[in-house]
A and B are shown apart, each in its own frame.
Chain A
Amino acid sequence: MKLKNIVDLLNLEVRSGSDKLDVEVCGGYASDLMSDVIAHARERQLWITLQTHVNTAAVAGMKGLAGVILVQGREPEQDTVEKAGKEGITILVTKMPAFEIAGKLYNILNAEKV
């Protein structure tokens, strides 16, 4: 499913990379530990986290992730938005907690497969 459809369906707000929503999302990974994401997240997955600082953008860029969803209404820090903008990384925010958004994302991505 295209990222822009997910943004619509889950009512996500876009904080950077609004021109990068055409990418095809192939899954998700939820974690707040950088090394864990580096080890286990896959290219073109969406990363669900509460980490709002600039390293989030660096890790997302390095792993070629489809984007980052910040949970619980957390806003990205200013330099995170700047770095993400420069590297073409999509940062999204939601009021939902991680458990909820992960469940919803899982459902839409799975519904699409059948």
Chain B
Amino acid sequence: MTEVTKVQELVYELKLRDVMKKDVFSVAPGMQMSELREIFRTRRISGAPVLDGDRLAGIISIEDFIRWLSDGGKECRISEKMSKRVETFYSDDTLVHALNKMEAAGFGRFPIIDRQTGGMCGIVTKGNIIEALLKELEIDFHEEEIRRYRASHIFEDIRADKSTLIFQYRIAGELSEAGTTSSGLKTTLKRLGFHPDIVRRSAIIAYEAETNVLINAKEGKMVVRVEPAEIYMKIEDKGPGIPDVEKVMEPGFSTAPDWVRELGFGAGMGLPNIKKCSDKMVLNSTVGKGTCLEATVDIRQPQ
């Protein structure tokens, strides 16, 4: 079932230029019909586009050649026997468009035209499309396999009654260094094989908490505990603290000074972002002592 939807997605996503055969053997309109015998035989092809410069003039197939032979095989130019009404696609057409048209046309070899230049830039058959889809699916399948393996085995491989992985990060430095801690965590979680959604949410929580610490308290630390059921994150600082922890949760509330706002912070959306990304969040703070933010991301049920 997932495979089917994946294919559906791909036929909408992929363009003909992603799957077409680019180095196409072609013939010139002025060539003689008799020359085709050798060409078709040695190249093992059953047809070829006829190109006048880079313009597509027509297509000549083995059927055209056989018809010419049975009509007596009188020597003439390819341009006289080729089919001139050729159905083409543009290189930026989607696979789904091509597949539908192929179905209706009843034949399966289409020259591809570059929309900008008007010249022919490749050729596509149903075979090319299927091949490309299979390749994409295989890559996807492979990546999914690795992910599943790691995410599900990391704790099973550990022999213990209770297992927890703990990562600690120090948060300090200029605001320009914001992102160091969170990108470190992101890489780690990715390597552990967590679902991209889990990684994304954890990274956002870390980044927003990190910038808040850098702006308001200058330094602090982050502890991340990875447990079988959840990722628990605790970000602590010994900064000025927050007088009203409910107020700061309101979207848009911010005390950021001008220099911080100039850098694009201070929208008052950081804490609301954290809340949105976590399954549980607790903010504790004492004025003059510091602030402690705890956030949990469930890893049992990716959204």
Contacts and interface: CB of A to CB of B under 8 A. Distances in A.
B281 interface: no
Contacts of A51: 263-264
A62 B175 CA distance: 16
A19 interface: no
B275 to A, nearest CB: 11
Task: Sort A-B residue pairs by CB-CB distance and give the 7 closest, nearest first.
Answer: A58-B179, A35-B269, A33-B267, A51-B264, A34-B264, A35-B267, A54-B176
A23 interface: no
B186 interface: yes
A79 interface: yes
Given A34-B264, A62-B204, A53 B176 contact: yes
A74 B235 CA distance: 35
Nearest to B266: A33
B276 A39 contact: yes
The dominant DSSP class at the B interface is: helix
Interface in B49-98: 92
A10 interface: no
B46 interface: no
B213 interface: no
Interface in A11-61: 24, 32-36, 38-39, 49, 51, 53-56, 58-59, 61
30 contacts: A1-B92, A32-B264, A33-B264, A33-B265, A34-B211, A34-B265, A34-B267, A35-B208, A35-B268, A35-B269, A35-B273, A36-B267, A38-B204, A39-B273, A39-B276, A49-B264, A51-B263, A53-B176, A54-B176, A55-B264, A56-B264, A58-B178, A58-B183, A59-B179, A61-B183, A62-B182, A62-B183, A62-B203, A62-B204, A62-B207
A34 B176 CA distance: 13
A36 B176 contact: no
B29 interface: no
Interface size class of B (residues with CB under 8 A): 20 to 34
Query: In the complex, which range does the number of interface residues on chain A fall in?
Result: 20 to 34
Contacts of A59: 179, 207
B270 interface: yes
B203 to A, nearest CB: 5
Nearest to B273: A39
Nearest to A56: B264
B208 A55 contact: no
A61 B204 CA distance: 11
A87 B183 CA distance: 10
Nearest to A37: B264
A112 B92 contact: yes
A33 B183 contact: no
Contacts of B204: 38, 62
Given A62-B182, A62-B207, A35 B265 contact: yes
Contacts of A32: 264
Contacts of A33: 264-267, 269
